């Protein structure tokens, strides 16, 4: 699973100045909507991936679930949350603990929520056959994990801080370090996907995907906070990141609020 886009040569005229200008215009147009427009020119992938036809009505919504993946609580193993524990050797990179709570709009915890993450390794490469970034693969790191939230809505992952990588969106385009999060709700059709970023990353101000989020507060909510109380002595650095499903303080998701 990877987020890297393969667009070929960067489009002519798309440089950082264009990204900055159009991102400001897109945010102004979407202000108050709470979610980026589907087509954001600086994010070249949005031109290729957003729907152009009206939704197809589904006569039997429950029939969709019959063709989706089947999930049960027993399918999550005791080490699925630790992305560093699935191989014979230790993965390369900075070990981190990422933890937080999944909450509804009223601040109530969402318990029993299947939460998945996937990410690049410390060199900025995904363990995926389509990733051709000239960075080394780590034989001891696959980059995928999952867990269930507890009664307080809390999740926790042990992983490696991912590296930045080039993504061919425009000239000299690099994605900041990030971790993809997937929340499944109570059915596959409720799935929400978002990205978590790291504080102090200089690439945050240059990323068309993050800059497409209309409101500054919403962009800040996508950045985790360093939390020494989550750090494990002699083992990992701790980062805290809460996810709010809806309401005025909602986390921005790739398909909008549901």
Please report, to the nearest 10 degrees, the dihedral formed by the alpha carbons of residues 113, 118, 121, 123 taken in order.
Answer: -120
Q: What is the pLDDT of residues 25-75, one digit of tens each?
A: 555 554 555 566 667 767 777 777 777 888 777 777 666 666 555 666 678
SS3 assignment, position 180: strand
The residue annotated as part of the active site, out of 155, 165, 197, 206, is 165
pTM: 0.83
Q: According to the model, what pLDDT value does residue 28 have?
A: 54
CB 116 within 8 A of CB 195: no
Q: How far apart are CA 175 and CA 181, in angstroms?
A: 16
CB 253 within 8 A of CB 193: yes
Q: According to the model, what pLDDT value does residue 57 have?
A: 77
Q: According to the model, what pLDDT value does residue 5 have?
A: 46
CB 27 within 8 A of CB 153: no
| Residue 126 a catalytic site member | yes
Interacting residues of 127 by C-beta distance below 8 A, sequence separation 6+: 121, 137, 138, 141, 142, 143
Q: According to the model, what pLDDT value does residue 61 have?
A: 64
The residue annotated as part of the active site, out of 43, 126, 155, 197, is 126
The residue annotated as part of the active site, out of 101, 161, 178, 221, is 178
Q: How far apart are CA 1 and CA 128, in angstroms?
A: 6
Q: According to the model, what pLDDT value does residue 35 have?
A: 61
- Taking Cα atoms as reference points, which of 213, 180, 82, 76 lies closest to residue 140? 82
Q: According to the model, what pLDDT value does residue 185 have?
A: 80
The residue annotated as part of the active site, out of 27, 35, 146, 175, is 175
Phi, psi of 17, deg, nearest 5: -65, -40
Residue 61, burial from CB neighbour count under 10 angstroms (0-12, 13-18, 19+) = exposed
- Taking Cα atoms as reference points, which of 194, 192, 195, 174 lies closest to residue 183? 192
Which H or E run includes 179?
strand 178-183
Sign of CA dihedral 109, 110, 113, 115: negative
| Residue 178 a catalytic site member | yes
The residue annotated as part of the active site, out of 133, 180, 219, 221, is 180
Which residues of the chain are under the pLDDT cut of 70?
1-38, 41, 61-73, 188, 255-258
- Taking Cα atoms as reference points, which of 207, 212, 171 lies closest to residue 14? 171
| Residue 133 a catalytic site member | no
Q: In Å, how far are 32, 164, 173, 174, 198 from 177, measured between CA atoms? A: 28, 5, 13, 9, 7
């Amino acid at each position: 699973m990877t987020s890297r886009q393969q667009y070929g040569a960067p489009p002519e005229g798309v440089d950082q100045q264009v990204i900055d200008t159009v991102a400001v215009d897109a945010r102004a147009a979407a202000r108050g909507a709470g979610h980026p427009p589907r087509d954001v020119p600086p994010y070249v992938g949005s031109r290729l991936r957003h729907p152009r036809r009206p939704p197809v009505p589904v006569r039997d919504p429950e029939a969709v679930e019959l063709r989706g993946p089947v999930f049960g609580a027993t399918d999550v193993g005791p080490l699925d949350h630790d992305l560093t524990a699935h191989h014979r050797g230790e993965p390369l990179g900075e070990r981190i603990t990422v933890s937080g709570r999944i909450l509804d709009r009223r601040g109530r915890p969402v318990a029993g929520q299947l939460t998945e993450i996937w990410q690049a390794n410390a060199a900025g490469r995904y363990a995926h056959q389509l990733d051709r970034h000239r960075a080394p693969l780590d034989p001891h790191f696959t980059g995928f994990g999952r867990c269930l939230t507890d009664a307080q809505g809390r999740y926790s992952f042990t992983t490696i801080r991912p590296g930045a990588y080039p993504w061919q969106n425009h000239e000299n385009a690099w994605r900041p370090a990030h971790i993809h999060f997937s929340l499944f709700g109570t059915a596959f059709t409720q799935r929400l996907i978002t990205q978590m970023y790291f504080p102090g990353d200089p690439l945050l101000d240059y990323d068309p995907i993050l800059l497409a989020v209309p409101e500054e507060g919403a962009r800040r909510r996508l950045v985790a906070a360093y939390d020494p109380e989550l750090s494990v002595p002699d083992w990992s650095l701790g980062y805290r990141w809460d996810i709010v499903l809806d309401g005025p303080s909602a986390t921005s998701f790739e398909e909008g609020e549901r």
